[in-house]
Each structure stands twice: as C-alpha cells, then as structure tokens.
Structure 1
C-alpha cells in the first residue's frame, strides 16, 4: 500500500474511533488490510501531528493538533471538537461562556477565530473555559443556542448554515 493511502486511512480511523495506543491503531489498520511496522506507524503519527489527549472520563485518545487535518472544513473540525470537549454553555449579555474539558479551550477558540465570523469580536481561552465575545446580545444568544445543540448532540443539520446569520 502506498504511504499516502495509509496516511489517509489513519486520518479516517482517528476521526471515527477513540484510539488510545499505537497497538489499537495497528489493529484497526489490520482490519483495513493494511500491514505496517511499529516504527512506520510512529513516523506516520509524527507526520500527521497526532497528539494524545485526556477525555472527560480520564481515558486518552489520539487526535489531531488543531490545524493538522486540512482536508476537513473548519466547520467540521469545530463541530467535532465541540462534541469531544465541550461540556456546557452560558450566555451573559454579549458573552458566550463555553465550559470545556481541561486543556482544550484553546483548540475551540482557535477554530472560532479561524472561521472569521464577523459577529465574534474575539475569543479568550483559559484552562477549562472559552469566552466568546460577540457584538450584540442577539448574536450571543444565537451562537449559544447553536453551540448548545451541538454539545447536547441535537440536530445540527449543517453547522455552516446555522452560523450563517452571524456573518
């Protein structure tokens, strides 16, 4: 198998499964009929900028450093990050306070900033909280509702479409 195809398969597996170890990743690759050595897999992990993160349930998994996976849209990456790391939201005037699992707010704030949503004046990330400053209270309420839907895994149909009023 070509290196490019193997890297694509690893990306797909990391996005669709909670993989905690190189051995688990190798097992998933074998199910996809891809044979590789541990040394090659280590090089692939480094090249793809995979990092291990701790989830809320204190288990670990491999994930992509926030801008390592350019094939997916920013909207997809934001939605995936919110599903994986966000806990809850709170809307206060023109602020949206997003409570996130420890060490992950910077990823979400960075993705929000990359979207360049005109309604968002800026973001601030701390250890377990992301503050999103909007221009108006109405825009803050809209964003808060959208983020809450994603966190609660309710229908998000199309995140880009839901965020359109903020542009």
Structure 2
C-alpha cells in the first residue's frame, strides 16, 4: 500500500510539473484572456484538469491578468510583466483616471470602474517619495501623502504618469 501511495504521489507531481510547464509555454506564445480559454487548450493537449485545479495552478505560478494596449486583459507570468515595453502599454492611469479631490491631508481619486487597484499600484510604485500608500476599491482610491507633503507636490508627482490630473 505504501509503495502504491508513493508512486501515486510521484505521478501526481510529474503531471503537475508537466502541466505547469505547458501552461507557461502557452502563456508565452498565446494571448490568453480567460481561464476557460486556458482550460480548453490544456484539455486539447491531453490533460484531464478541472477549473479548480487550473485556478490552483494559476495561483501557484503567480499568474496575473494584466491590461493590454487594446483595453482588454491577458494572463501573464510574473517574469513577463516587466518585459512589456512602455510603448506597448500606456499607463492605466492615462485612461482610467477621472478626478482627484483633497480633504485635509488625504486625497480621493475617482477612476473608471475596475481601474482603481491597478492605478493605486502604479501610484505605490512610482510616487513613493511623496505618497505613503493607497487603499483601492473598484473605482475609488484613498491616497495618503507622507508628512509635510503639499497638495501641489502630490499633484506634481502624480502628473508624471497621470497626464490629465491637473
């Protein structure tokens, strides 16, 4: 019984490793914009896989959905995201930003629905000198400036990648 369990475990690992390898190859060679599309390709390649297993694979491989220049989304491996050229993909903030309003030291940014988290990520990565952090919902971002940072400094730092913020 122990030998059978060990062999089953090894087979499962080999199958999973092979499936992960194929998933990576598919994502590097095709534009995949849904789990259903990826699931269909894997089934066509001979894998017996469920949606739940694919979701676990996506989490384990740290695959993320990123916006494209065409306004749609595609699944990407983390190592490929940094390889996307800036010319290919304008900052999300350039077409997702709607408005900013200050209240005391805090600011609230309104975005198109679905853009807040991505824009907050841009702010967290690109404006660290002036912005302590952000909290994002679906279409709203709470922006927390660092101590002693003026509204003009916040706006100037954000205008570097949100062209229509002024």
The higher relative CO (CA closer than 8 Å, separation ≥ 6) is in 1
TM-score by length of 1: 0.47
